[in-house]
Structure 1
Amino acid sequence: MRSDVAGGALLIGAAVLALVWANSPWADAYESLRSATFGPSKLHLHLSVETWAADGLLAVFFFIVGNELKQEFVHGELRDPRRALLPIVAALGGVVVPAGIFLVVNATAAGEEASGWGVPMATDIAFAVAVLAVVGRHLPVALRTFLLTLATVDDLCAVLVIAVAYTSHLSLPALGYAATGLLVFWWLQNGDDGAAVAVRRVVPGWLLFGVLAVGIWTAMHASGVHTTIAGVAMGMLMRTTPRAGQAVSPSHHVEHVLRPFSQVVALPVFALMAAGVALGGADGFWTSTITWGVVAGLVVGKIVGIFGASWLTARFTSAHLNPGLAWIDIAGVGVLGGVGFTVSLLIAELSYTDPAHLTDAKAAVLLASTTAAILAALVLGQRSRHYKAMAVRRREDAE
C-alpha cells in the first residue's frame, strides 16, 4: 500500500475508468456522482464530490510531496544547492516555454482563444509520479527527487498564475489566517520554548496538528488560492530530525501513517473524479488553434523548457547534475512533464466561456498528456532497463 508502483497502477486505472465511464451510456450517472454536494454550508464548504477530491484528498498527497522534499533538502539529494537549483530552474523553463508556444500558435486568433495560455504550463505531479513509478522501477532515486522538485515548483507557478490571472476574487484576510496557521504549525513542530513544549505534552499530536491542518486548509480554500498549496506548505514545515526519546522524526512518522491512505484512497478517487472528460462536441478539434497550442505546448514545450533550462544552467553556472544521472534521463523527465491533466483542465475551465473552445482545450489536454505519457514510458522504460543491467553487472563483478 505504500508502494509508488501500486499507487501508480491504481491511479492510472481509475483515470481510464473515469474516461470510459464519462463517454459511455452511463455518463449521466457519472456526472451525478461527481456533482453531488455535501459539507457545512456555514463554512462555505458545501462542495461537490469532484471538488472535495481535487481540493481535499489531493492536499493529502501534496502534503506527502512537501514532506519528502523537506527530507531531501535537509538530509538528502537537495542538500547541495548546486543540485537543488537544477530542477527549480528546469521547472521555470517548463512553465515559460509552453506558454510562449501556445501564444505563438494563437497569435492571429481573433477571439478568446489566446486566453488559455496557462493551460500547457502545468505538470500533473500525481500522474507524472505514477507513470515514473510504473515504467521506471530501476531508475535512480535521484531522478524521482528531480521530478518531485520540478513538479512541485511547476505547480506553485501554476497556482500563482491562477491566483493572478484567472482568479476574480482573492481574500487577503483568509490568506492571512492561513499564513498565521502555518506559522503556528511551524512553531509547534520546531519550537523548543516552554510554551511549545507544554502544548505538545498536553495535547495529543494527532489532535493538535490534525485540527490545525484542517483550519489551515479551510482558510486557504476561503482565500481563493488552491488548497494543495496548504498541503505542500505544511509538508515543508515538518520537523525531520528526531528529538531525545523519539525513535523517528514527526516527518517520517506522519509519512508512514498517511502514505497508504494517499496511495489507495486519495489519488485513485481524485483520478476517478477528475479524468472523466466527455469528448463529444469536439467537431473542429483538429483545426482549432487551441488544440495545437495545447498539444505543442505540453508535448514539445515541456521537454524544450525543462531540458533546455537544465542544460543551460549546468553549462553556465556552478549547478550540476547528479553524477548518478545522465542527460537522457532529464530528457525523459522533460517529456514526462507534458502530462498536464488536472491543473491544465482546471485552467481550461477558467480560461474559456465558449463551450466549443472549452471542449477543444480539454480534449487537447487529454491527447497531449496521453502522448507525453507514452513517449516518456518509452524513454524512461529503456533507461530503467539500462540501470537494471548495470546493477546486474555490478553484482556479477562483486561475486
Structure 2
Amino acid sequence: MADENPMPDPAPQRPPGATARALDRRSWPEASRAADILRKETVGGVLLLIGALVALVWANSAWADSYTALRELRVGPAAWHLDLSLGTWAADGLLAIFFFVAGLELKREFVSGDLRDPRRAIVPVAAAVGGVIVPAVVYALVNLGNPGALGGWAIPTATDIAFALAVLAVIGHSLPSALRTFLLTLAVVDDLIAIVIIAVFYTDDLSIGPLLLALVPLAAFTAAVQRRIRSWWLLLPLAAATWALVHASGVHATVSGVLLGFAVPVIRRRAGEGPGLAEHFEHRLRPVSAGLAVPVFAFFAAGVTVGGVSGLVSAVTDPVALGVILGLVGGKAVGITLATYAAVRFTRAELDSDLRWLDVVAVAVLGGIGFTVSLLIGELAFGLGTPRDDVAKIAVLTGSVVAAVFATVLLRLRVRAHRRICEQESVDADHDGVPDVYQRGD
C-alpha cells in the first residue's frame, strides 16, 4: 500500500549543531492542516456532548423505557445475519466510518506527517504508549481481587480527541500550535493502539472463512484506490462487503474501517494534480464521522440509568468504576507525562523555549478525557446494557468530567503565556499568507 514519489511537507531547518527541541512548531502546511482538523473535531465534540447529554436525560426520565426500546430495535437483513439492534449498528457500523477516517489519518502521519521522522515521532509515540500502559495497570491493580472485572482493563486507555477539543472550545482557551499538534498526534497513535487492542483482545470467536473472504473485496478496493478511482458506486459496495465479512468473522467490524483507510494512497502521483485521494476522502468523510457517526454512537452508548445521587455514589464506588476513573484521571496524566519526560531525556532534547512542563501536564490531563473508544471497549468487555457496562459508562463520563475540570485549572494557570504564543503565531508582517514565525529557522 505504498504511495508513489512521496513529497513530504518542508519543515523549518535549524542551524547545524543546534540543540534538538521537543514539542516545537511544525511546518506551516502541517500546522495549518492540524488546525483545520481540530476545528472540525471541535464541532464534532460539541455534537458528541449534546448526543450524550440527550441520552442521559432520556434514560433517566419517565420515558426511559422508550429509549431502551429504541436502542434495542432490530433492523437489517436477517438472511445475512445483519438483523442488528440500532445500538449495535451505531457501534459496529457508524464507528467504522470513524475508524476509516482514523486509518486515513494514521497512514498520512506515517507516510508524510510527523510520524515519518523517528526523531519527531518518538515523543508523541512514547507519550501515547505511556498513556495506555499506566491506566491499564492502574485499572488492573484496583480490580485484582475482582476477576470478572479484569476484562475491562483497556477501558481507561483511550483518549477522545473530539471530546477534549470540545472542552477546550467550552472553556474558551486555545493551545499553542505545538501543543495542539502534540495532542492530535498523541490521539492518532492512541487510536492505533486501541485498534490493535480491540482486534487482539476483544475477539472471542474467530471464523477464519469469512475473514479470508474479506480479503477479496479489500484487495479489489485497494486496487481501485491505488489507480485513483473515486467512483462511489464501485468503492462503496466493496467497502460494505469488506465490513460485512469482517463482522461475520468475529473480529470487531470497525477494524475493517482502519484496513480500508490504510489502503488509500496519501501522496499525489504528480505535483499540481490537485488533492490526493486520502485528502479527498478525508474532506468528504470527516464531517460525516464527526457530525453524524460519533454523536449518534454517543447517543446510543451513553444512555445509562444513574438512579439519583445514591445510585451515582454506588456506581462510582464499584471497583470497575474506581479503576476506570483512576485510570483516566491519574493514570493518563502520569503515563503521558512520565513517558514524554523519558523520551525527551533519551533524545537529549530540550523543551521548546515557549513551553513549560506544566503545559505538558495539562495536555496529559486532557488525555484523560475518554469517551467514544472507551465506551466501545466497555461494551465489548462486559456486553451492551449489562450492569458492569452501565457502571463502566458512568465511570467514563465521571472520569472525563473530572479530567476536564483539572485540565481547565491547569490551562488557566498558563492562559497569558498561551495567548502571547498564539498572538506571535498569527503575525504575518509580509502578508504572504504564512505567519512569520514559521519562516524562521529558530
Specify the alignment match of 2:276 in structure 1: 249
Would you say the 8 A contact 2:71–2:87 is kept in 1?
Answer: yes
Specify the alignment match of 2:32 in structure 1: none
Matches within 5 A, 1:171-190: 171-190=207-226
Equivalent position SS for 2:303: coil
Cα distance change on mapping 1:248 and 1:396 into 2, 3 Å: closer
Residue of structure 1 aligned with 2:343, choices 295, 306, 313: 313
1:63 is matched by which residue type in structure 2?
A: F
Would you say the 8 A contact 1:120–1:340 is kept in 2?
Answer: yes
Q: Does 164-173 or 303-312 show the bigger shift?
A: 164-173
Specify the alignment match of 2:66 in structure 1: 29
1:207 is matched by which residue type in structure 2?
A: W
Matches within 5 A, 1:85-124: 85-107=122-144, 109=145, 112-124=148-160
Q: Residue 376 in 1 paired to residue 412 in 2?
A: no
Residue of structure 1 aligned with 2:319, choices 289, 292, 302: 289
Instruction: Give the drift of 1:14.
Output: 1.6
Matches within 5 A, 1:8-19: 8-19=45-56
2:152 is matched by which residue type in structure 1?
A: G
Equivalent position SS for 2:252: coil
Aligned partners of 2:312, 2:122: CA distance in 1, in Å? 41
Would you say the 8 A contact 2:135–2:332 is kept in 1?
Answer: yes
Aligned partners of 1:330, 1:44: CA distance in 2, in Å? 47
Q: Residue 59 in 1 paired to residue 86 in 2?
A: no
1:49 is matched by which residue type in structure 2?
A: L
1:19 is matched by which residue type in structure 2?
A: L
Instruction: Give the drift of 1:266.
Output: 2.0
Give TM-score scaled by structure 1 length: 0.83
Cα distance change on mapping 1:155 and 1:79 into 2, 3 Å: closer
Instruction: Give the drift of 1:38.
Output: 0.9
Specify the alignment match of 2:297 in structure 1: 270
Would you say the 8 A contact 2:128–2:336 is kept in 1?
Answer: yes
Alignment RMSD (CA, Å): 3.3
Aligned partners of 1:137, 1:69: CA distance in 2, in Å? 27
Aligned partners of 1:381, 1:223: CA distance in 2, in Å? 49
Instruction: Give the drift of 1:242.
Output: 2.8
Q: Residue 302 in 1 paired to residue 329 in 2?
A: no
Aligned partners of 1:84, 1:189: CA distance in 2, in Å? 27
Cα distance change on mapping 1:5 and 1:96 into 2, 3 Å: closer
Instruction: Give the drift of 1:11.
Output: 1.7
Q: Residue 146 in 1 paired to residue 182 in 2?
A: yes
Aligned partners of 2:132, 2:41: CA distance in 1, in Å? 26
1:112 is matched by which residue type in structure 2?
A: G
Aligned partners of 2:355, 2:259: CA distance in 1, in Å? 28
Deviations 1:95-142 (A, max 9, x none): 2111211222223x2552444323322333443454456557743445
Residue of structure 1 aligned with 2:106, choices 51, 63, 69: 69
Aligned residues: 388
Tell me which protein shows more helix as a share of its residues.
1
Cα distance change on mapping 1:171 and 1:68 into 2, 3 Å: same
The alignment-based identity, stated in percent, is 49
Specify the alignment match of 1:386 in structure 2: 417
Aligned partners of 2:148, 2:214: CA distance in 1, in Å? 34
1:340 is matched by which residue type in structure 2?
A: G
Instruction: Give the drift of 1:321.
Output: 6.9
Where structure 2 has 5 or more consecutive residues not aligned to the other structure, the ranges are 1-35, 431-442
Instruction: Give the drift of 1:169.
Output: 0.6
Deviations 1:323-354 (A, max 9, x none): 87654443233212222334333443444589
Residue of structure 1 aligned with 2:247, choices 212, 221, 225: 221
Would you say the 8 A contact 2:161–2:184 is kept in 1?
Answer: yes
Where structure 1 has 5 or more consecutive residues not aligned to the other structure, the ranges are 191-195
